[in-house]
Amino acid sequence: MNNAIDQPHGIIAAALTPLKPDFTPDLDAIPGLLHYLAERGCHGSLILGTTGEGPSFSSSERQAIYQSTLTIRQAFPDFKLFAGTGTPSQEETISLTRLAFDLGFDGVVVLPPYYFRKVSEEGLIAWFSQVIQRAVPDGRPLLYYHFPSITGIDISIDFLSRLKQTFPDRFAGLKDSSGNPDFSDQLGERFGQDLVVFTGNDRLFSRCLENHGSGCITAMSNLYSPMLRQIWDAFQHGHPDLQTQGKVSSLRTILERYTPFPPILKGLISLHSPFPTWPVRPPLLPSSSNTVRQASYELAEIG
């Protein structure tokens, strides 16, 4: 049997999570959001990542949210679904990861156990080894979620190499949200196309592709997936689109003035789509209408 990993790639939206006014998940709205993203050029979506407020939901809520996404395959059978399953609890992470694969998700993106920030890489290897051995089927991809500014946990190239060597048919690579261009270069130099690398920073999208990267998983894909898809398609045809990349980089710079992303993105997407302004779950607070208008004005000046 060939257990080689089916290499994921393309524009993956770090999807928002629609909520009702009482802060419960709006399960009926989730398929519509995914349909919208697919029509605008996304190859797939990450469900319950940082932009999706993943850590704010219980395991039972996550299960319901995962299940609500599956109908997208009726209209877009090739649309890829990835689940954010990482929690500080190893057992909960294993349970959520198993669930995602049992439901038919195409892969998982797993944060490290971020409560204990000063753990060794040996400890992280032991933790991820248990998750992979107990929850990831052969040939299915687990991606490490590298986000040191949020988790407080940084990793080395050697750490990734060890996981890849130990679990070549299950550890696929990483979503790199470090925002570090040198790290992006090092990944390309060390692994080439042997490691799946999605950038989490739109400014580094073209650089990621030049370094043999697989695509992007970003918050901005909720709003600007057509531009990102244009960069992707141009690169596939051997003609990097530096002009569009420049616009995307400028848009990202503006959006970073309004972090955290979920509140401002929920405000902005309601201006350019049929969706309402979905709430965010506390401790996040909604962006004011004035803030959303100001951000929209600044972004519109770029294009």
Let me know: does 225 contact 18? Beta carbons within 8 Å.
no
Burial of 86 (0-12, 13-18, 19+ CB in 10 A): buried
Q: Could you give the residue numbers annotated as active site?
A: 50, 115, 144, 175
The model's pLDDT over 248-291, given as tens digits with 9 standing for 90+, comes to 999 999 999 999 999 999 999 999 899 999 999 999 999 999 99
**Given pLDDT bands bounded at 50, 70 and 90, which one contains residue 303?**
confident
Q: How confident is the model at residue 6 (pLDDT cuts 50, 70, 90)?
A: confident
Task: Give 92-147 pLDDT, tens digit per residue.
Answer: 999 999 999 999 999 999 999 999 988 999 999 999 999 999 999 999 999 999 99
pTM of the entire predicted model: 0.96
The reported pLDDT for the residue numbered 2 is: 40
Range 213-217 average pLDDT: 98
pLDDT at 38: 98
CATH topology of domain 10-240: TIM Barrel (3.20.20)
**What is d(CA 172, CA 143) in angstroms, rounded to the nearest whole number?**
6
Structure confidence at residue 1 (pLDDT): 34
